[in-house]
Amino acid sequence: MSDDVFAADGRIIGSRALVTRRKLLDATAKLLQEQGILDLRVVDISRDVGSSPATFYQYFNDVDEAILELAKEATDDEKPLVALLQPGWNALDGLERAGQFVDAYMVYWDTHHAVLRARNLKAEEGNRHFRAVRTEANLLVMDALQAMVTEGVAAKRLPESLDPFTTAAAVVAMCERLLAFQPEMARRGANRDAIRSTLATLIYGALTGH
Amino acid sequence: MSDDVFAADGRIIGSRALVTRRKLLDATAKLLQEQGILDLRVVDISRDVGSSPATFYQYFNDVDEAILELAKEATDDEKPLVALLQPGWNALDGLERAGQFVDAYMVYWDTHHAVLRARNLKAEEGNRHFRAVRTEANLLVMDALQAMVTEGVAAKRLPESLDPFTTAAAVVAMCERLLAFQPEMARRGANRDAIRSTLATLIYGALTGH
DNA sequence: GACCTTTCTGACTCGCCGTCAGATTTTCGA
DNA sequence: TCGAAAATCTGACGGCGAGTCAGAAAGGTC
């Protein structure tokens, strides 16, 4: 396994090109944030770094490929979240631990929301590369969640009607959706604290049965 | 309030045009199902009904407008679901009632999944018309859910840390996401029954505290 | 069957995508 | 330092689908 970075045509690129590629990625992230994925044109990205569209195509076959790269980078920041999901939550500390997880998830989402939304959008559209990245990211957290549910079911704290994998998926679904909807929720009176405490309570309930 | 249908330029259309418009809508739904929203080109829709692209633009300003119309039609089929969400679920029948709701939701989703996914996609992309339609559809169910949570909190069956509106949003999130992910879930061992029973259990728990 | 209204379409312009041949810059051996 | 080779960059172009519009076709009315 090497750290070499490849151009769109497969050749290994040098340090000058690496800088150009990085600039293009940063511009992509910036414009994704500013004007959304719908109006993200290769022309604009190129203009933003002061080069021609053809340069962009030296490094990426299309805009999706650049966004995919950003999505992979975002996944790295999700890994620490897993540490907050160790089995053994109890009636005393469980709710607090759930709250800590939600807090960390919120920070993660805040940092990467533009890229994560784009990733989910493309995955939803059926793009298999984005599906793979999303699944990989979700499984990070879901594996840990699943283990907690399995333990809860084994200890008879949770009903057998809960499928551990599906429950884990449901928890991730709640987290992602509520955070993605945050602005709309706020407009209807559910502020960040309400989302935080509700999410923590629901997760605590789903994972421990308390 | 009239039932008149308008062309893209605002004039009221007659019966012949109404038929053409309907054909265009049906073709849009069909192609949306068959080839996804990404490859949905006006040229194809026109060809499918045997007319020219210009005809399409007589009735819709763009493809989105046609999909939006389909999304509105889908919302009508969601209304009956509300009847299944009356307060008063108890420890005896609650789980069964939750199961009935999930069943009905699954049928609804199966019927309209192509359009609903497209609607959510566009809403997610920030299109305000699709946001409005999605919000309207979600609020149908969420209002009922919210009432049940409010009642549960008032009766001390549910903790005060649950914000009723956010909880309702979380329930809708679980339902939509798990159904949208159904094929991917199945590939990982969670079949329809697992999804059904898990969803019913989680909803029952979130709404009644049992 | 002449005239008016509604509906439909061929043909066009426009803008962005993605390519490619060749220009420019950098590297490196002598 | 020089010149050739490699790496990187770009101007200019072909292609495709979106959306427009003037006028053709169809249908209705007297």
Minimal CA–CA distance to B120: which of B6, B170, B98, B109?
Answer: B109
Does the predicted model carry a pTM greater than 0.85?
Answer: yes
For residue A78 the two structure tokens come to 């999700």
Domain with CATH 1.10.357.10 in chain B: 67-208
Instruction: Confirm whether any atom of chain D, the nucleic acid strand, is less than 7 Å from CB of A201.
Output: no
Evaluate whether A135 touches A165 at the Cβ level (below 8 Å): no
Does B150 lie at the interface with A, CB-CB under 8 angstroms?
Answer: no
Query: Which parts of chain B fold into alpha helices (H)?
Result: 15-35, 42-49, 53-59, 63-78, 94-124, 128-154, 164-180, 182-187, 192-208
* Arithmetic mean of pLDDT, A17-32: 94
Evaluate whether A197 touches B163 at the Cβ level (below 8 Å).
yes
In tens, the pLDDT along A142-177 reads 999 999 999 999 999 999 999 999 999 999 999 999
What is the Cα–Cα distance from A46 to B182, expressed in whole angstroms? 39
Mean pLDDT of A110-120: 93
The total number of residues shown for chain A amounts to: 210
How far apart, in whole angstroms, are the C-alpha atoms of residue B135 and residue B97?
A: 25
> Which residues pair with residue A66 across a beta bridge?
none
The pLDDT score that the predictor gives to residue A1 is 40
Please tell me the predicted confidence (pLDDT) of residue A177.
95
| Percentage of chain A lying above the pLDDT 90 cut | 81
Question: Which CATH homologous superfamily contains domain B15-61?
Answer: Homeodomain-like (1.10.10.60)
Determine the pLDDT at residue A210.
78
As a rounded value in angstroms, the CA-to-C1' distance for A64 and D10 is 22
Q: By C-alpha distance, which of B209, B206, B200 is closest to B165?
A: B206
Tell which CATH architecture fits domain B67-208. Orthogonal Bundle (1.10)
Contact flag B184-A135 (C-beta cutoff 8 Å): yes
What pLDDT shows up at residue A3? 66
Q: How far apart are CA B197 and CA B102, in angstroms?
A: 9
- Cβ neighbours around A171 below 10 Å, total: 27
For B151, the 3-state DSSP assignment is helix
Cα–Cα distance for residue pair B12/A129, rounded to 1 Å: 46
Q: What is the 3-state secondary structure (H, E, C) of A80-120?
A: HHHHHCCCCCCCCCHHHHHHHHHHHHHHHHHHHHHHHHHHH
**pLDDT over 70 (residue A178):** yes
Residue range A6-22: average pLDDT?
86
The pLDDT tens digits for A43-90 are: 999 999 999 999 999 999 999 999 999 999 999 999 999 999 999 898
Q: CA-to-CA distance for B204 and B185, rounded, in angstroms?
A: 22
Pinpoint the residues of chain A covered by CATH 1.10.357. 71-208
Tokens 């992509």, residue located: A28
Supply the mean pLDDT for chain A.
93
pLDDT in single tens digits along all 210 residues of chain B? 456 788 888 888 888 899 999 999 999 999 999 888 888 999 999 999 999 999 999 999 999 999 999 999 999 999 999 999 999 898 889 999 999 999 999 999 999 999 999 999 899 888 999 999 999 999 999 999 999 999 999 999 999 999 999 999 999 999 999 999 999 999 999 999 999 999 999 999 999 987
pLDDT of the residue at A209: 87
Q: Is B167 on the interface with A (CB under 8 A)?
A: yes
For the domain spanning A71-208, the CATH number is 1.10.357
Q: What was the pLDDT predicted at A8? A: 81
Q: Which two tokens stand for residue A118?
A: 């784009």
For chain A, give every residue range classified as CATH 1.10.10.60: 15-61
Contact between B124 and A120 under an 8 Å Cβ cutoff? The reply is yes
Q: Which nucleotides of C are covered by protein (CB under 7 A)?
A: 6-11, 16-21, 26-27
Nucleotides of D under 7 A from a protein CB: 7-12, 17-22, 27
- Nearest nucleotide (C1') to alpha carbon of B46: C9
Tell me whether residue A1 is exposed, middle or buried, using C-beta atoms within 10 angstroms of its C-beta: 0 to 12, 13 to 18, 19 or more: exposed
